[in-house]
Structure 1
Amino acid sequence: MKQRLENAKRIASGIRCKKRVMPILAFDTFKAVLKKLSIPFAVCDFEADKEIAMLANTLNCPVLSNDSDFFIFPLTGGFISFDKVIFNLQEIKGENNSVEHFLRARLYHVDNFFPSLGKEVLPLLAALLGNDYIDKDVFKSFNDSIQSNECETQDWKSPGDKRTLKVLLWLQGLKSYSEGIIIETFQANVPETESSLYAYFMGKEQIGENQIRFVNESAIPMWYLSHHRKGLISPNCLDIITLHRKFLSPQVEDPNSLASSYQSSVNLRKYIYGILLSEDSADFETNGAWGIASNMKSVVEEFDRRGDIIISQGINPVKPETYSGKSIKLSDIPDLSRNEKKNLLRMILDIPCFNIDHMTPDLELNLGIVIFWIRNSQRKVTISHMQSVLVCLIMLKVKWALMYPASIGCEKNLIEAALFGIKAKTLKTVNEKLSKYKKSRTSRVDCGLIHGFAQFQTCIMATMHLNSLFLDPFPGPYIPHIFSGTFYITFAKKIKEKILINLYMKCYQRIQILYRFINASLMLSIKL
């Protein structure tokens, strides 16, 4: 988390940084694309490294991950780090002049990784450099004691690079790996037994059939575990249930802002915590409140950025109630009607009643998120922020309408209904004009713009997780249809530079009317 914060700060400050900061919506976007392509996937309850390695070896395929622990696993198909994938679509001629597409990537095999050391020393190397289980500071005194003239004479961009080379040179200089150090290391072996993930995908058994319990030892409802393992609920929710803990991954946002972008969505997370811990905290309801001094078991510890540091703070859950005043528990959710769950989400987000034709549930939720963001942002959302978001909603639907021109027979929302009445030639022209903002890049960073859209991301994510926790009473927001960070930033900058929206849409009256209608409806709803 500290390293991610440092990388995010460097990017937001306009400093060139080779490290990537994965957007917080990347995981949910990845899941959505898997579902769209009908690619099966599963979520393990806790640590999944060995299960994944076993599955990869069974299928004889590589592992694609951000987790550097896979470098040292004996994977028959090798390991591909996300950082080593070039996300530029390539094509090659196949048989019968067919065209096949691929992405270039670097494939690692444990046998070729530091061959001079031998793969048996890699677990020890991982321990000395720090990993998920051992903080690098544990071996700080050991690393400081290593003397290396080669390391001291070089100019290092990162202290970690110097530390890594020092340890590697020290290991190479030993006659045996037991010389000079006595340490018990874990074995990065892959068990020979069949992977439960493989059995799950083959339909033989349910993954993780053992019950998981709340902190108070009561059993978590099986419906929840089933949806969690199918990837229908955010996996981070299980940490909240079992550990009462939530890590808020730092984003690229204004580094000068004391409060992080997550503060704009804290009220949504309070309801998420209230639902998840409703069974765990039933014993404490007689106290009349959660999180008071005598009842600290129900507080969720959030780890978030505050200024330049990571801090933890206790967040009191909020118990959701129906309009009739009934408190909702986790085990109650499957028994609630779809309308009851919709109304709960409307109440939590404070979604107004839209008097608009073609107001489908998906558009209602998307506009509800926009309104919540505007009302709850810690830093005031500007007109350019809002206009960029609304134009992006239209732009992404234009692209969708061009890709699926024959999409008929299903209920269309206001935007879709308007676009399907426009000629394809006009839609292509609009798409070309708007898509250039999606591809634009600028070295100059506008922290005010970035921070506003970072807040929007946290509101989208919290709403998605809340909606999935209620078993999707609204169609879950499909992120590729509602969010494009690059478009937001570049388009909003043009608006700030007085390049008005009317200039690019003046020839397309129907789209201009659509934009103005949605904009007016939002302005009326939030009383701006």
Structure 2
Amino acid sequence: MRGNYFSFSPGLLNCKVSGTGAMEANDLRSYISSHKNIFVLRNKQFRDSKLVIDGCNLYHTLYFTSGLDQAQGGEYGDFETVVCNFFKNLKECSIKPYVVLDGGDDGGDGEFRNLKKKGEITIRKAHALSTGRPRNVLPILVKTVFVQILRKLEVPFVQCVAKADWETAALANEWNCPVLSNKADFYIFDMKGGLLPLWSFQWKNLSLMNQSDEKFVRAKEYFVERLSTHRRLFLPVFATIASNDDIHLDKGSLPNWAKPSKGSTVTKDIDALFKWLSKFKKPKEAINGVLSHIRDPAYSDKVLNVLTQGLEDYQLSLSSIAEFFTSGTALPDSSPCLPEWTLQQLAKGKLDTVVMDVLAKQRTVLSFPVENSLYSSSNRMSQPIRQTIYALLLGVTDGAYVEEYDREELEITSSRVEAVLPSKVVPNLQLETLWETAWNWRQQVLLEALLVSQPPDRLPVPPSLQLAVYVTCYWLKQAEPEPKPEFLRALLVGLVYGELSRDPLTQRGAVPKRLKNLKTRKEKIPLDLEVAHAYSQWQCSLRDSLRLNQLLANPVPEPEYAWLYSGELVHSVIRDLRRGVGAEVLLAGSPPALQFYQQLMEAVEPELDDEMRSEKSKSSNLEEKIYEQSCSFRTRQRKRSHKSDPRSKKSELSHWE
């Protein structure tokens, strides 16, 4: 399918596709809102209906419009709260959501060029954000967190094999319900249930029906059928010209094409193209009108094929994902390279889409965090983990490589990365039977890839933190520059905070008040690039480790990803540590917090270098003293609480709040 928004360069009609569909969709929306006589948007009181949701567009929009941190690596716990509130409000309005997520690279050269272009844009945005200039950069674990939240909330969703726009529109059309999205493609599909633009969907502030306690969401609705007949017919031609990277039409070759119009350069170009095509009554006439101004026969044939295919692509038929929602049947795959068992797990979001990219085309565009652009990409550090993933997917035969697209300063570059299994791993693992392989062998693959030896049952930490401990050990060994001692201590404090915060039943009494204050403290200071780069390396290692863990059927328990990292907190903790405040002081008053911190430090201690061991030795006596004082104080408080005076209860509560 074509791209997610339209953009025109000054000399050519081009497509610059973005995976977000959030910011760039404003161009077409601006054009639509300024031409209400053509594109009719009407008020809608939406409730008691199915709703097919463009998942990719939703998680981008929810993150970017919620004021969550982007520069310091992300606020995944707060993002989980936003997502949960969104679906909670849908439920209050009797809205039944069905989320459709994009899959991997569909194999087309045009689509892959768009992916690389998107990567280049992200690299520059991340660099700008690192220097204090406002940009929208999605933290690299947002999609992973979003998918896990959907599973936890039991929201029906499917992850498609490739781009999901057509499947999303076809499913909504089949069910006669609207699509929720900001992407421009959904203004082109002729859907029975229409489109609810996400920008108009007022889910945060529900309204009440007149003379009823039934709630609804205020929104705008759009239907292609409200366009005039001939405009509706040429709309797919318009969209294909505007959004296909293989068509480069010189505006000067089309007579009277660009007439003066109001608006930005982009909307002027959109308006000019729309007006020029409006003179044709049928799609074939519009296509012939374009071809009549192309002199090169070979290029004319190419444009004809693209536009003809575009007309077909915007025609809706039965969706292949409807059956998945009703019976759980795996999606059909047009590529024979994917084993059947992987299709089911991919559809359920239990495997990452990198599996499809590697198996189908042996290439992948990596994600790019906010980091120090003068250093090597954070993806470099976790490359050995990815090499293990590639070896499991492709085998370890000679010549098994994956083309990785990564950052080199501010440019996107490619390199051939060999598929390599760790040396001590059983070499005859086969993808087709991987999940049938003995559990201890699969666990060995993961431990060897992460350069650790302690099996999970010997780690002195809860199962929910075991993978994070392994990633931290790997990070301590592989990170360049080497993490400073305060980076480790702040990271462990962040893990403690997440472990105690993820359960609302234990959060009130267990999370130290000082940590809560640090989490909410907003300090307007420049981003510390050294800290940001170190934690970007940790997050890249976590991203690739959880992908490997998934591929191996989770031989280490799957953690709740949203609670493993809080950028605002760990950056604030480091600033306090550098002021001389000890990590144990930050955790004082909460024996569970101190206990978790001790357990985490003991788990990673075998991987510490001499400097970090020295730092731990210096703090151990203070840690034990504070822990004893906290336990003693809490015991005294409990004894007081047995008295009849209710003020003792109040005193105890105030201590833990």
Out of 229, 245, 248, the position equivalent to 1:134 is 245
Paired residue for 2:147? 31
CA contact (8 A) 1:362 1:474 kept: no
Matched, 1:75 2:75: no
Shift of 1:90: 4.4
CA contact (8 A) 1:42 1:231 kept: yes
Shift of 1:73: 2.0
Paired residue for 2:163? 47
Taking the aligned partners of 1:244 and 1:232, their CA distance within structure 2 comes to: 20
335 and 516 in structure 1: CA distance in 2 versus 1, 3 angstrom threshold:
closer
1:69-468 matches, cutoff 5 A: 69-79=185-195, 89-90=204-205, 107=220, 109-111=222-224, 118-130=231-243, 133-134=244-245, 138-139=248-249, 162-172=265-275, 176-177=279-280, 178=286, 181-182=290-291, 184=304, 185=307, 186-187=310-311, 193-203=317-327, 205-208=329-332, 212-214=335-337, 220-257=338-375, 259-278=376-395, 285=397, 290-291=398-399, 298-320=400-422, 323=425, 325-353=426-454, 358-401=460-503, 403-405=504-506, 426-427=509-510, 430=512, 433-434=515-516, 436-437=518-519, 440=522, 442=524, 444-468=526-550
CA contact (8 A) 1:60 1:76 kept: yes
**Could you say what secondary structure the match of 1:301 adopts?**
strand
507 and 432 in structure 1: CA distance in 2 versus 1, 3 angstrom threshold:
closer
228 and 373 in structure 1: CA distance in 2 versus 1, 3 angstrom threshold:
same
Paired residue for 2:126? 8
Taking the aligned partners of 1:476 and 1:470, their CA distance within structure 2 comes to: 11
Shift of 1:469: 0.7
205 and 123 in structure 1: CA distance in 2 versus 1, 3 angstrom threshold:
same
Shift of 1:21: 2.0
CA contact (8 A) 1:319 1:328 kept: no
Taking the aligned partners of 2:459 and 2:389, their CA distance within structure 1 comes to: 31
Paired residue for 2:57? none
Taking the aligned partners of 1:90 and 1:439, their CA distance within structure 2 comes to: 27
Taking the aligned partners of 1:455 and 1:211, their CA distance within structure 2 comes to: 36
Taking the aligned partners of 2:583 and 2:216, their CA distance within structure 1 comes to: 36
- How many residue pairs align between the two structures? 469
Structure 1: stretches of 5+ with no match in the other structure: 155-160, 215-219, 292-297, 406-423
Q: What root-mean-square deviation, in Å, do the aligned CA atoms of Structure 1 and Structure 2 show?
A: 3.8
CA contact (8 A) 2:191 2:224 kept: no
Taking the aligned partners of 1:497 and 1:114, their CA distance within structure 2 comes to: 64
Tell me which moved more, 357-366 or 454-463: 357-366
Taking the aligned partners of 2:371 and 2:458, their CA distance within structure 1 comes to: 34
Structure 2: stretches of 5+ with no match in the other structure: 1-117, 281-285, 292-302, 613-657
Paired residue for 1:419? none
Shift of 1:70: 2.9
Shift of 1:263: 0.8
Matched, 1:478 2:587: no
Normalising by the residue count of structure 2, what TM-score does the alignment of the two structures yield?
Answer: 0.63
333 and 228 in structure 1: CA distance in 2 versus 1, 3 angstrom threshold:
same
**Could you say what secondary structure the match of 2:290 adopts?**
coil
**Could you say what secondary structure the match of 1:256 adopts?**
coil
